Amino acid sequence: MSTSETFGETIKRLRKERKMTQKMLAQGICAQSVLSRIENGVEIPNVMVLQSICQRLNVTLDQVLHSESEEIQRIKFLFSQVHYYLIHQEYQKMEDLLENSRLMDHLYLDTDFQLYYYYLGSCEYFLYQAYDASIQSLKKGLSYTYNKGNENSSSIEIQLLSCLGRVFGDAGNIEKASFYLETSYELIELLPTELTSFELTKIFYNYGSFLFQMEKYEQALEVSEQGILWAQQRCSHYYLEELFSLSGVICQKMNLIEESKEYLSLATYVSKIR
């Protein structure tokens, strides 16, 4: 915690970094109004509440009090670099940074380990098509925080589920691919607006591509068009070219020739400006 940051402000910052609402953090621990007063410095939590809050945030009290340490800032910086390469689909640079930075040796938060294995699994899949290794890494990442049946999933958990579905699909396990892809797609609808991000555009592409491969063309087009709208609403080009291309080939299969031409033309346009 920095010298200018109160305990409540630290709790609030850590909560937001983990993409949690006050309701998510307070659930089963204290009233949401109590958590709000804690974050605003109006109320000091008792020991039991304090321990429960820290446990849900995956930190110790000592880590909360020293959360702005130089080591944590270094980890944040490295993760931001890896994330940049992921967004730009530069997977070799991702892998090089994960290996050369020895990032794994400096992690202690569950959410950090989760991110690490998400990035590692992505590299194994996109660089080498190492399906078994990728599935193992992605499942390990998911295991740190994800609880099946919990509607309060984070953006990263949803991306992990979707990526697992994509890998299972390429590996030929249609049943598991369908389960993971459909689950990730449904969880987006439950995600609070303030926790959504442009990176989730990929969930629509992954699921739409799978439906297309299953020859469910109308449903595939609906999902793909939802993804296009999602990206446009967030002024993002992330996976927009891929979604335009997907919509174009789906329309070809549906004999919607003019619509197909328009989507493929838009894909070319996005490719040029990206």
In a domain? residue 169: no
Q: Write the pLDDT tens digit of every residue in 231-268.
A: 999 999 999 999 999 999 999 999 999 999 999 999 99
Q: Write the pLDDT tens digit of every residue in 80-137.
A: 999 999 999 999 999 999 998 888 887 877 888 999 999 999 999 999 999 999 999 9
pLDDT at 175: 98
Residue 3: which pLDDT band, with cuts at 50, 70 and 90? Answer: very low
pLDDT tops 60 at residue 181:
yes
In a domain? residue 204: yes
User: Of the candidates 19, 43, 65, which is a domain's last residue?
Assistant: 65
CA–CA separation, 125 vs 149, rounded Å? 27
Which range, of 48-52, 102-106, 175-179, 258-262, averages the lowest pLDDT? Answer: 102-106
In a domain? residue 52: yes
Structure tokens at 37: 């007063």
User: Of the candidates 33, 65, 97, which is a domain's last residue?
Assistant: 65
pLDDT tops 80 at residue 15:
yes
In a domain? residue 212: yes
In a domain? residue 156: no
pLDDT at 126: 98
**Cβ(99)–Cβ(122) below 8 Å:** no
Structure tokens at 119: 């990035």
Number of domains in the chain: 2
Return all residues near 160 (Cβ < 8 A) that are at least 6 apart: 114, 118, 121, 138, 141, 142, 146
User: Of the candidates 65, 84, 112, which is a domain's last residue?
Assistant: 65
Instruction: Report the CATH number that the domain containing residue 262 is assigned in CATH.
Output: 1.25.40.10
In a domain? residue 202: yes
Residue 1: which pLDDT band, with cuts at 50, 70 and 90? Answer: very low
Instruction: Report the CATH number that the domain containing residue 34 is assigned in CATH.
Output: 1.10.260.40
Task: Centre a 10 Å sphere on the Cβ of residue 163 and count the other Cβ atoms it contains.
Answer: 27
In a domain? residue 100: no
In a domain? residue 114: no
Helices 174-190 & 201-213 angle (0-180, nearest 10): 140
The domain in which residue 204 lies consists of 197-274
CA–CA separation, 229 vs 114, rounded Å? 29
Tell me what percent of the residues of the chain surpass a pLDDT of 90.
Answer: 66
pLDDT at 71: 64
